[in-house]
């Protein structure tokens, strides 16, 4: 039976675009990518409105520019992260180094968990500021509701990505390959070092089989 490492079989399989697109992680990353676009695009296009107090445009969420900047920052970074992790997911089965797979899975797990929390905080902050906002027009109101809605959806999409990343981390290396090591880190040799037992000379020198009394080059007179 062919083993697996962190949710994918060992290197050697060809990339299948059909199965890749149907994977739950791929679908969730595409949805998270789309949600992030709606959030920061809505804020960029309609998030700042002119007020009667001054000529400078203010954030539509209770004129709190920090709220708009916070949501835009999270959305842009989420957009970039989805692109990076989609590329890594496509290349993941071709990785022969198990440690590299482990680092990618851990990075995916940590980033997804952190962004789940950040999206939840973002939704709470924006909802609180929107409840205090007065005198908005219909265009700003639609944009604000879109930002709130897709921020809320992002909490669940990134939460599910964290769940799948944790599942891949728990899988690790299958039982049939517990002794698997990367060729680059395997320094063992099939030839054991020579054993010099009972050596009395330097550096494992062994004593000559001829004794001092039976030297072949020494003359011995015959006995009569």
Q: Which residues, other chains included, contact 154 with Cβ-Cβ below 8 Å and sequence gap of 6+?
A: 32, 35, 36, 39, 78, 115, 119, 123
Rounded mean pLDDT, 4-15 = 59
10-14, 35-39, 107-111: which has the minimum mean pLDDT? 10-14
15-51 pLDDT per residue, tens: 667 778 888 999 999 999 999 999 999 999 888 887 7
Burial 194-218 (b: 16+ CB within 10 A, else e): eeeeeeeeeeeeeeeeeeeeeeeee
Query: How far apart (Å, rounded) are the C-alpha atoms in residues 146 and 126?
Result: 11
Question: Taking a C-beta distance cutoff of 8 angstroms, is the pair 79, 34 a contact?
Answer: no
Q: Identify the band that residue 14 occupies on the pLDDT scale cut at 50, 70 and 90.
A: low
Separation CA 129–CA 151 (nearest Å): 14
**Distant-in-sequence, close-in-space partners of 65: CB < 8 Å, separation ≥ 6:** 58, 59
Which strand (E) or helix (H) includes residue 20? helix 17-22
Mean pLDDT across 176-196:
48
Any idea what DSSP says for residue 15? P
Least confident of 2-6, 88-92, 126-130, 164-168: 2-6
pLDDT confidence of residue 54: 60
Q: Looking at the predicted structure, is the pLDDT value of residue 182 above 50?
A: no
User: 61, 145 in Cβ contact below 8 A?
Assistant: no
What pLDDT is stored for residue 177 in this prediction? 45
Contact 140, 1 (CB under 8 A): no
Say what angle helices 24-46 and 138-171 make with each other, to 10 degrees.
150
pLDDT at residue 1 in the model = 39
Classify 52 as helix, strand or coil: coil
Q: Where are the alpha helices (DSSP H) in 47-205?
A: 65-91, 98-131, 138-171
Q: Where are the beta strands (DSSP E) in 6-44?
A: 8-9
| Buried/exposed 151-178: b ≥16 CB within 10 Å, e otherwise | bbbbbbbbbbbbebbeebeeebbbeebe
Residues 6 or more apart from 102 whose CB is under 8 A from it? 6, 169, 172
> Domain boundaries in the chain?
16-173
Determine what percent of the chain is predicted with pLDDT higher than 70.
Answer: 65
User: Which of residues 65 and 12 earns the better pLDDT score?
Assistant: 65
- For residue 8, give both structure tokens: 């994918």
Check pLDDT > 80 for residue 7: no
């Amino acid at each position: 039976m062919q083993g697996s490492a962190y949710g994918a079989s060992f290197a050697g399989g060809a990339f299948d675009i059909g199965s890749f697109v149907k994977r739950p992680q791929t679908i969730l990353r595409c949805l998270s990518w789309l949600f992030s676009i709606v959030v920061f695009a809505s804020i960029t296009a309609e998030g700042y409105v002119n007020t009667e107090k001054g000529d400078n445009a203010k954030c539509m969420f209770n004129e709190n520019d920090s709220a708009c900047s916070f949501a835009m920052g999270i959305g842009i970074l989420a957009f970039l992260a989805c692109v990076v992790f989609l590329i890594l997911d496509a290349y993941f089965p071709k990785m022969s180094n198990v440690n590299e797979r482990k680092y990618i899975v851990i990075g995916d797990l940590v980033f997804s968990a952190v962004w789940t929390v950040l999206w939840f905080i973002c939704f709470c902050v924006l909802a609180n500021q929107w409840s205090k906002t007065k005198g908005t027009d219909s265009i700003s109101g639609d944009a604000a509701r879109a930002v709130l809605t897709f921020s809320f959806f992002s909490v669940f999409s990134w939460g599910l990505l964290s769940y799948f990343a944790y599942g891949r981390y728990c899988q690790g290396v299958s039982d049939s390959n517990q002794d698997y090591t990367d060729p680059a880190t395997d320094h063992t040799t099939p030839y054991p070092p020579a054993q010099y037992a009972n050596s009395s000379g330097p550096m494992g020198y062994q004593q000559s089989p001829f004794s001092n009394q039976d030297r072949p080059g020494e003359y011995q007179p015959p006995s009569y």
